[in-house]
Chains A and B, each alone.
Chain A
Amino acid sequence: MSPALRRFAEEMRLLRRERVAPWVLGGALLLLVAAALNGRALLAAHDAASAALEAESATLVAALAAQAGRGVPAARDPGSVGFSVLTYPAVLPQASLAPMAIGQGDLLPGRYELTARGAHHFLARTELDSPLRLSIGNFDAAFVTVWLVPLLVIGLCYGIVSAERERGVLALAVAAGASAVRFVLGKWWSRVALVVACVCLGTLLAAAATGALMRPGAVLLLAGWILAGALYVVFWFTLALWINAGPGGSERNATTLIGAWLVFVILAPALTNLAATTVFAAPSRVDLTTELREATEAADRDAAAARDQYFFDHPEMQGGSMDNRAYFASVARSEAQIAREMLPLLQAFDAQALRQQQLVSLLQYLSPGTLTYQTLTTLAGSDGARHRQFREQTLRFHGQWSRFFVERLEAGLSMTADDYARLPRFTFAEPSALDLLRRALLPLLVLAVAAAALYLGAVRRLRRLAVV
C-alpha cells in the first residue's frame, strides 16, 4: 500500500472513531437525494398540468377540424375560432436537471395559454402558489450543495491544524520525524477526497432518483454540475486549510469560517440582488397596469368608431349586431393596436431584466456561493435565462399563431379541416448542453483558480507553522 493510501486509510479510521463524521456524510448523501426527489415532486405537478392542457387542446382541434369538415359555421369562422374558442398551450419542457435546482422554476411561467388575442392577455398570468411557500424558498439539491455542504466542510475541517496543535499531536508527529506540512496535507487531502466523493456520489444518486440520467444531454450537464459541486467543496476545504495555517485556535478558526460562510453564502448573494434591483430597478408593474388600461380604452374607442362606421356603411344592419367576421376583424385591429402601444413598455421590462442579469453575472465573482448557485441553476435551466428564451420564443410563435387566423379573417376565408392540420405548433428550441457548459466554464475556472490560490497560500503558511 502506498504511503498516501495508508494515510487515507488511517484518516478514515480516525473519522470513523469520531462517530459523528459517518453520520454527517451519510446525512449529506441522503439530503441530496431527498432534495432532488422533492424537486421532482414539485415539478411533476407542472408537467402533469401541461400534458393535460396539451391533450385538451389537441382534442379540441380534432373536434373543430371534424366540425369544419361537416360545415359547422362556428368551426369555419377564423375569428370565432382564433379569438374565442381555441386556446393553444405553449409549454416549456422540463430541463434535464430542473428537479435538482428549482431556482426561478416555480416563479416564472412554464407555459402560456395562447389565443389570437394580444400577448398582454397571457403574459401577466402566473401559476397558483402560496406566497408564504414562495417566500421561504425551496429545498432542492442546489440548496443542499451551496448552503449546507460548506457547513459540513467547516464541521470536518475547522480544526484540521489547530486542533492537532492544541492536542499536541502535531508536535508529537514532528518529534517522530514526520514533516508537519506533509502530516497536515495528508489529513487534509484524505478529507477532501472523502467529501468530494460523497458529494459526487450524492449528486449522481440524486440525478438518478429524478430520472435525469435518461434525458438527452443530461450526462454532459450532470458532469458540469458535479464538477461545480466538487470545485465548490474544494474551495471551502482550501479556505479552511488557509485559515488553519494561521496562528488562531480552533474556536477562532470555526468562527472565522462561519463568518466566511455568512459572507459568501448569505450576504454576498443578498447584496448582489439588492445592487442589481436597485441600480437597474424594474419598471413599475403598476404603471404597466394603468398604461394597459389606457391603451385598451383607446382601442375600445377606435373600435366603437369603427362599429359606427360599419353601421353607416351597412344601414340595413342598424339596430342589430355586426356580423361575426366584421366583429372579429375589429377585435383583431383593437388587439394589434393595444399590442403596439404596450410593446415599448414590455421591452423596457425585458431590457431592465437583462441589465440586472448582466450585473449579477459580473458581481457573482465576488462570492463562490453566488458563483456556484448561478452555475448550478444555469445547468439546470432555472436561472431565469431559459425562461426568458421561452418567453421570447413564445412571443414569436404567438405572432405566427395570430397571423394564421387574422390572415384568413382579412381574406374572407373559412377554416377547413386541412387548415386545422396546418395550425402552427410550438416547440421550444432548447439551448444545447454544450452552450450551457460554455457559459459555466468561466465561473468554474474562477472557482478553480481561487481554490488553487488559497491552497498555495495555505501551503506557504504551513511551512512557517509553529507546531506548538
Chain B
Amino acid sequence: MVLTVARKEFRGMLRDGRVLAGALVLLLLAVLALASAAARYASLADERAIAQALIAEQWQGQGDKNPHSAAHYGVYAFRPVQPLGFFDPGVLPYAGVSIWLEAHKQNFATGRPADDMTPLARFGELSLAFILQALVPLGLLLMSHAAFAGEREHGTLRQVLAAGITPAKLFLGKFIGLGAAALVLLAPLGVLSLAALAFAGEAAPWAAALSLLVVYLAYFALLLVLALVVSARAASSQAALLVLLAFWACMTFVVPRVAADVGRIVAPTPTMAEFQRAVEGDIATGMGGDPPAERIARRREALLRLYKVSSESELPINFQGIVFAIQDELGHAVYDKQFGLLHDAIDRQADVIEAASLLSPRMALALVSQELAGTSLVHQRQFERGAERFRRELMDVLNRDITLNSRAGQGDYRAGPELWRSTGEYRYVPEPLRLSWARCAAPLTVLALWGIALAIAAAATLRRLRVIAA
C-alpha cells in the first residue's frame, strides 16, 4: 500500500510540466554556477601557487643582507584555494587571501575578493551551495505543499483512507514518492558536482564531498516532512503554500540577516584604529607589566653577569639579536591578546548566528556546509594562525642568526642564501575532516532538534488528520 502511494506521487510529480520545468531551470543555474566557479577555481589555484613560488624565489634570491633587513622584507602567505570552495565559497569571498609576514607585526589578511565585486554581490552569490540551500528547498516546498491539502480539497483523501491505508502509511508513501521524485530530478545536479570535483585530481576531498551529500539529503528530507506536515494541517492547499513560502523566506533570508546584525550589536568588533591604538598602547607599557626597555635592561644585566663581562661589546654574542627577540616576545603577547579579543567578538557574533539557526534550519545547514567544505570562519582563522606561527619561527631563526653569528655594533653583518633557504616556507594544510565534523556538533544538533520536532508534529497531525475540507 505504501509503495502504491509512493508510485502514484512519484509518477504524478514527474508528469507535472511545472515540476520538470523548475528542475530544468535549477539544473541550468547549477551548470552556470559550476562553470563560472570551476573556471575561477582553476585560475585562482594557479595564480596563488605561482605567487607562493615567486615569493619563495624572491626570499631565497634576496642576496646577502642583514637578517633584520630580511625580517622587514618578510614573506607573504597565500591562502590556497579549497577544492570544495567551488561548491560552497563560505566566508572566503569576505576574507583576505594573503598575509604579509614581517618583523614585529602580526598583519591582517588582505585582498578580499568581495572588494572587487559589484554591489549586487550582497544579494547573494550564485553558487551551488546557494542553489541547494535556497532554491532547491523552495522547489521541494512548492512540489509537496498540496500533497494532503490538495487531496482533501478534491475529496480523494477520504477515498484513499476509506480504502484501508492508515494516515501514517499514507504519509510515508507520499514521503517516499515525493522524495524519490526529488532525488531523480536532483540527480543530474549531484552528478555534475561530483564530476567537477573529479577535476581536482588527487586533491579531491571525496570524504568531505560525500559528507556534504549526506547532510544535504538529510536536510531535504527534513523539509519534505515539514511540507507534508503543513499540508496535512492546513485548511487549504493555498494556505499551505502561503505558510510554507513565508517560512522559506524567513529561514532563508530574514533570520540570517537579522541574526548577523544582532550579533554585531551584541559583540561589536573594534575598528582598525582602535585595534592599532590598543596594540601600540600595550607595547609601550609592556602590557601593564614591564615596559620593553626594563626587560631589555634586566636581560643585559643577566647576560653580563653570566659571561662575567662589563659591556655588550665584550659579549661573545650580539646582544642586538636578543633585543629583537625581547621585542618580539612582547609583540607576540600583545598580538595574542588583541587578536584574541577580536576573535572573541567575532566568535560571539557567530554564536548569535548559531543560536538563530534554531529558527532557521537553513542557517544550521549553511554552517555545516562551510565547515565540511573547508570555507568556514574557523578554516580562515587556521590559515591565519598557521601563517603567524610560521612568522614567529622565521623571526626566531633570523634573530638567533644575528645573536650567534655577529657581534655588537657589527652593522655591516650580512647573511646569505644559506640562511634564507633554511627558513623553509609556509604551506597551509587543511585540518582532517573529523575535526571539521566535531565543530559541526552544534548546528547538527539544531538540525536533529528540527527533525525531532517535525516527527512529533507529524505524529500529532496524523492522529487527528482532517479528511474533509473546511
Contact = CB atoms under 8 A, between A and B. Distances in A.
A251 interface: yes
A426 interface: no
A377 B111 contact: no
B261 A107 contact: no
B117 A135 contact: no
Nearest to A271: B126
Nearest to B37: A274
Contacts of A277: 116-118, 121
A132 B260 contact: yes
> DSSP class of B's interface residues: helix, strand, loop or mixed?
helix
Interface in A21-49: 38, 41-42, 45-46, 49
B349 A370 contact: no
Residue in A42, A269, A297 whose Cβ sees the most chain B Cβ within 10 Å: A269
A273 interface: yes
Contacts of A127: 271-272
A270 B265 CA distance: 28
A278 B36 contact: yes
User: Which 7 A-B pairs have CB atoms at the shortest separation, nearest pair first?
Assistant: A282-B116, A285-B111, A131-B91, A49-B271, A131-B94, A134-B94, A273-B120
A93 interface: no
A129 B345 CA distance: 10
B138 interface: yes
B78 interface: yes
A137 B47 contact: no
Contacts of A45: 268, 271
Interface string B138-180: 1000100010000000000000000000000000000000000
A124 B124 contact: no
Contacts of B254: 139, 148
B237 interface: yes
B349 A270 contact: no
A289 interface: yes
Interface in A321-363: 349, 352-353, 356-357, 360
Given A38-B261, A52-B273, A159-B238, A251 B76 contact: no
A103 B346 CA distance: 21
A297 B58 contact: yes
A105 to B, nearest CB: 10
Contact of A104 (B58, B119, B257, B272): B119
Nearest to B275: A128
A214 to B, nearest CB: 23
Given A130-B264, A285-B97, A294-B58, A124 B111 contact: yes
Given A126-B112, A254-B238, A285-B111, 11 more contacts: A107-B122, A127-B271, A128-B270, A130-B349, A132-B353, A134-B94, A136-B256, A139-B258, A269-B124, A284-B47, A286-B97
Interface of A: 38, 41-42, 45-46, 49, 52-53, 103-104, 107-108, 113, 124-139, 143, 147-148, 151, 155, 159, 163, 250-251, 254-255, 258, 262, 265-267, 269-274, 276-278, 282, 284-290, 293-294, 297, 300, 319, 349, 352-353, 356-357, 360, 370, 373-374, 377, 382-384
> DSSP class of A's interface residues: helix, strand, loop or mixed?
helix
Interface string B408-442: 00010000000000000000000000000000000
Nearest to B343: A130
A395 B95 CA distance: 25
A287 B97 CA distance: 12
A363 B341 CA distance: 43
B3 interface: no
Contacts of B116: 277, 282, 285, 349, 352-353
A255 B112 CA distance: 38
Residue in B39, B91, B118 whose Cβ sees the most chain A Cβ within 10 Å: B118
Contacts of B18: 255
Contacts of B122: 103-104, 107, 137-138
A134 B114 contact: yes
Interface stretch (B7-15, B48-56, B194-202, B450-458): B48-56
Given A135-B90, A373-B123, A42 B241 contact: no
What's the interface size class on B, roughly? Answer: 35 or more
8 contacts: A46-B271, A103-B122, A124-B111, A131-B94, A132-B377, A267-B29, A286-B48, A383-B119
A290 B32 contact: no
Contacts of B55: 290, 293
A407 B118 CA distance: 39
B263 interface: yes
Contacts of A53: 273
A269 B98 contact: no
B264 A42 contact: yes
Contacts of B126: 267, 270-271, 273-274
A251 B238 contact: yes
B386 interface: no
Contacts, number: 228
A229 B265 CA distance: 28
A365 to B, nearest CB: 13
B28 to A, nearest CB: 10
Contacts of A103: 119, 122
Contacts of B259: 136
B142 A360 contact: no
A339 B430 CA distance: 37
A130 B119 contact: no
B253 interface: yes
Contact of A133 (B51, B78, B264): B264
B120 A136 contact: no
A124 B260 CA distance: 25
Contacts of A352: 116
Interface in B248-287: 249, 253-254, 256-261, 263-265, 268-275
A251 B271 contact: no
Contacts of B48: 286
Interface in B77-99: 78, 90-98
B125 interface: yes
B394 to A, nearest CB: 16
A126 B110 contact: yes
A103 B249 CA distance: 20
Nearest to A155: B242
Residue in A251, A272, A353 whose Cβ sees the most chain B Cβ within 10 Å: A251
A259 to B, nearest CB: 8
B342 A270 contact: no
Contacts of B444: none
Contacts of B54: 290
B350 interface: yes
Interface string B13-27: 000001000000000
A384 to B, nearest CB: 5
Contacts of B275: 128
Contacts of A139: 254, 257-258, 260-261
A305 to B, nearest CB: 13
Nearest to B242: A155
A440 B152 CA distance: 50
A180 B317 CA distance: 100
B117 A273 contact: yes
Interface in B267-322: 268-275
Contacts of B350: 130, 132
Nearest to B96: A126
B115 interface: yes
A377 B377 CA distance: 28
Contacts of A289: 51, 76, 98, 110-111
Contacts of B76: 289-290, 293
A135 B78 CA distance: 21
Contacts of B117: 273, 277
A125 B272 contact: yes
B73 interface: yes
Contacts of A38: 261, 265
A286 B265 contact: no
A377 B119 contact: yes
A287 B51 contact: yes
Given A45-B268, A134-B114, A274 B36 contact: yes
